[in-house]
Copies of this chain bind each other. A is one copy, B any other.
Amino acid sequence: MEKRYKIGEFGKLVGLTTPTLRYYESEGLIVSQRDDNGNRYYTDQDVKWLGFLLHLKGTGMSLNDIKRYVQLRAQGDGTIPQRRDLLERVREDSLVEIREREANLKVLNHKIDWYAGKLDKTIDENEDFETYLKRFQ
């Protein structure tokens, strides 16, 4: 038979709190079934979906876009092109963000190096960071 996970157990499995899971359900990101006591339960299918959802979320995709994705999925295989397009847009945004972060991180690294140079006096006392930065442009 299929394994049924109660919300607490499921939460531990996927790394979310029970209020968060109920919140996700209220937002239409996940669904649950009910047992004879009216309590939610989840199956391995739900574990898989939530796993993927967290990957989507981890790329920076908003809950709102994830919801749109869920709605398309519910409409069957005919919406595969739209889902692919949606994910391609998310990929582009995510790539842009990663590249921006990397660029900003580069400047931060130079600042850390600049502090090191100031501390061990390998950078002239009078050279300010902006001048120092220009060396790398």
Contact = CB atoms under 8 A, between A and B. Distances in A.
Tell me what chain A mostly uses at the interface: helix, strand, loop, or mixed: helix
* Chain A residues touching B, range: 35 or more
Given A48-B130, A111-B52, A98 B102 contact: yes
Interface in A35-65: 48, 52, 55-60
A87 interface: yes
Contacts of A95: 105
Contacts of A88: 112
Interface of A: 48, 52, 55-60, 77, 80-81, 83-84, 87-88, 90-91, 94-95, 97-98, 100-105, 107-109, 111-112, 115-116, 118-119, 129-130
